[in-house]
Amino acid sequence: MQSLEAELESARELAIDDLADAIESIGFECTRCGACCTGHGEEEHTATVFPDEVRRLEDAEAAAVGSDGGEDDAVPEVEDREWRDVARPVPYGLAEGADGLEGETFEWALQTDGCGDCAFYAEGDDGVGACTVHEDRPLICRTYPFSVALAGTSQPMGEAVDEEGVVRAHECEGLGREIAREDAEELARALKERAVRELEEAIGVRDAYEPADPGPGEVVVHDSEGAKGIDGTPLED
């Protein structure tokens, strides 16, 4: 297996035209079905986010969805929004203790509502799903259902169902539909950016990691900026 640094160099050398060719060959058009924004059964929606994306979403104005002009009430207004309203610790690696999840994990995920759906997801009066922070949505949302086959990058929502070169496609009803070249290139640029960012984050987490030894009922999240509590506050603070 190559080092993370070697994988990062490979990600930086990805050609946008090649990625766009692969996306065109597979085909994709978002049908706004909401499947990638919602939980499934007992499984909560889990979309990983970088620390700077969490901060951007803390300040993002949510678009109104529906005739009442209100925004999804799962997320407070900007002036009252905090880190925990936007992100939660990725549950993988955590244990269920007497007081809930506890332990150490290494990523943040978008916060979910009481139904296990993304907190920023809402359905309009027409029953069609919508992202209330679409212009500020994280890279993993911008690039779904695609990922890049490089070690150290994430693979969203299960195994790949199609593959073209280094581009993998994950389960989505929009796959196989015709996509305009301009849209394929835009997706390709975001996909390359995400692959680079994920590997930079992985290297940062590795280099910054120090065992935190959380106590009962405590969760520590290690990201590229260091160890944090569930409210995003650095442990040394």
Residue 26 domain-assigned (yes or no): yes
In the three-class reduction of DSSP (H, G, I as helix; E, B as strand; rest coil), residue 5 is classed as: helix
- In the predicted structure, residue 70 carries a pLDDT above the cut 50: no
N- to C-terminal Cα distance for the chain?
37
Residue 237 domain-assigned (yes or no): no
Residue 137, both tokens: 């949505």
- In the predicted structure, residue 158 carries a pLDDT above the cut 80: no
* pLDDT tier at 68, thresholds 50, 70, 90: very low
Residue 28 domain-assigned (yes or no): yes
Q: In whole angstroms, how large is the CA radius of gyration of the chain?
A: 18
Residue 31 domain-assigned (yes or no): yes
Task: For the chain, give the mean pLDDT.
Answer: 90
Residue 235 domain-assigned (yes or no): no
- In the predicted structure, residue 151 carries a pLDDT above the cut 50: yes
- Cβ–Cβ < 8 Å for 196, 188: no
- Where would I find the H helices in the chain? 4-12, 16-26, 51-58, 83-86, 139-143, 181-208
Residue 216, both tokens: 């009962």
Burial zone of 171 (CB within 10 Å; 0-12 exposed, 13-18 middle, 19+ buried): middle
**Structural domains in the chain (count):** 1
42-67 mean pLDDT: 87
Residue 206 domain-assigned (yes or no): yes
Beta bridge partners of 108: 49, 89
- In the predicted structure, residue 40 carries a pLDDT above the cut 90: no
Beta bridge partners of 221: 105, 228
Residue 144 domain-assigned (yes or no): yes
Phi/psi region, residue 194 (left: phi>0; alpha: psi -120 to 50; beta: rest), is: alpha
- In the predicted structure, residue 154 carries a pLDDT above the cut 90: no
% of the chain beyond a pLDDT of 90: 70
CA distance 205 to 11: 18
- In the predicted structure, residue 206 carries a pLDDT above the cut 80: yes
Read off the pLDDT of residues 101-121 as tens digits, 9 standing for 90 and up.
899 999 999 999 989 999 999
Q: Tell me which range, 27-41, 178-192, 208-222, is most confidently predicted by mean pLDDT.
A: 178-192
DSSP string, 74-103: TS--GGG--HHHHEEE--TT-EEETTEEEE
Instruction: Please give the residue range of the domain that contains residue 35.
Output: 4-228
CA distance 237 to 234: 5
CA distance 211 to 183: 43
- Residue 214, preceding bond cis, omega within 30 degrees? no
Angle between helices 16-26 and 181-208 (to 10 degrees): 120
Beta bridge partners of 100: 97
Could you tell me the pTM of the whole model? 0.90
